[in-house]
Amino acid sequence: MVRSPKSPVLSINGLIKDVGPLSNLDGKMLRVVSGVSLIAERGEVTALLGANGAGKTTTLECAQGLQKRSGGSISLLGQDPAAAGSGLRARVGVMLQDGGLPPSARPLPLLRHIAGLYADPWPLEDLVGRLGIDTFSRTSVRRLSGGQKQRLALAAALIGRPEVLFLDEPSAGLDPQSRQLVFDLIAELRDGGMGIILTTHLMDDAQRLADYVYIIDGGRNVAEGTVQELLQRSPVADPGAEHVRTLVFEAPAGLDVAAVLPAGVDVSEARAGSYTVTGTLTPRHLAALAQWWEAKGIMPASMSLQARSLEDVFLDISGKDIR
């Protein structure tokens, strides 16, 4: 799956980032990004999906010009971010993972100050109203909730009405209402033509927002595609499978479930008595299970059938080990 660019705002080719011996614990050079490539289009949300430490933030920071890359090339709006001047920075909005907001600042004066750095900023009252910042515009940053801080950081990234918007873990700390508000605004901005690049380790975010997803693991691209394309990837040897489902049920421990089912599905007993069957399930699979249960006199304590989520795809690709 290689993407043919239409009107890219960002293209990264073979990005490499080494961290020097002074910056990590074991005192050796460490390669944190080893060959990430991606393209982000205008008018689309591009998601970088990966576990903590996969290299998402480093990739983003190289693209923002905050870190120097060790190899590869980056083109942001046709320019190299490492050599960027204020002209390029005026066209790019950045929301950092840790916010970057001074604790003693008050939201409204802070946003007014940042707005002053642009020739034609987003009208302050409109932006503040849209993100619901008007309700806490005079409370110091240190007293804001996590969700309020996130909304303020998003406003600070948007005040210059950028053509490209970087969001590092935008839904961290958001309550459900804030999340809906932020997601609706992101969709509106995308439809207005903004190129949005976000990182997340929440599959649900990517599934709801992203037009195109890059899965990053161990500093490399491991998969990419639209959400639909990724969901259709089968975990078993049947690459054409379009209707992968997951069946989870609870029954007595130690049953040989795989022996009963037609071949081609993946069975695991994640913990004693909890079975997960994944693959292109058909009514034949369900009938075989039901007949077996009837013959053996087994009544499952619970069962659920689900379409595969991006989370399943992600776990298939990057493995289930905790890192």
Partner 1 sequence: MSAAAPQEHQQPAPLLRRVLLQGKYEALTMLRNGEQLILAVVLPLLALVGLTVTPFLDGMGSSRVNVAVPGILALCAMSTAFTGQGIATGFDRRYGVLRFLSTTPLGRGGLIAGKVLSVLAVLCLQVVVVGLVALALGWQPTAAGWLPGLGLLALGAAAFTSLGLLVAGTVRPEATLAITNLLWILLGAMGGIVIPAERLPAAAQAVIHFLPSGALGESMRAAFLGGAVNGGAALILLLWTVIAGAAAIRWFKWN
Which parts of this chain interact with partner 1 (CB under 8 A)? 64-66, 85-87, 89-92, 94, 96, 98-105, 113-114, 116-120, 122-123, 126-127, 130, 156, 160-163, 185, 188-189, 192-194
Q: How many CB atoms lie within 10 A of CB 272?
A: 9
Residues 204, 49: contact at Cβ < 8 Å? no
**Taking the mean position of all CA atoms in its chain, how far away is CA 111?**
27
Least distance in Å: CB of 202 to partner 1?
21
Nearest to 74 by CA among 134, 123, 10: 10
Q: Which residues contact 47 (CB under 8 A, 6 or more apart)?
A: 197, 198, 199, 200, 205, 206, 209, 210, 212, 213, 214
SS3 249: strand
Nearer to partner 1, 58 or 234 (CB): 58
Nearer to partner 1, 193 or 262 (CB): 193
Least distance in Å: CB of 93 to partner 1?
8
Least distance in Å: CB of 318 to partner 1?
26
Least distance in Å: CB of 37 to partner 1?
23
Least distance in Å: CB of 189 to partner 1?
6
Hey, what's the torsion of the CAs at 227, 231, 171, 33, to 10 degrees? -80
Nearer to partner 1, 172 or 236 (CB): 172
Nearer to partner 1, 105 or 236 (CB): 105
Least distance in Å: CB of 34 to partner 1?
21
Residue written as token pair 């690709």: 317
**Cα–Cα distances in Å, from 174 out to 93, 147, 181, 293?**
20, 4, 10, 44
Nearer to partner 1, 88 or 222 (CB): 88
Nearer to partner 1, 120 or 321 (CB): 120
Burial class (CB in 10 A: 0-12, 13-18, 19+), 72: middle
Least distance in Å: CB of 17 to partner 1?
14
Nearer to partner 1, 5 or 85 (CB): 85
Least distance in Å: CB of 120 to partner 1?
6
Nearer to partner 1, 86 or 228 (CB): 86
b/e sequence 116-128, b meaning 16+ C-beta within 10 Å:
eebeebbebeebb
Nearest to 215 by CA among 321, 323, 311: 311
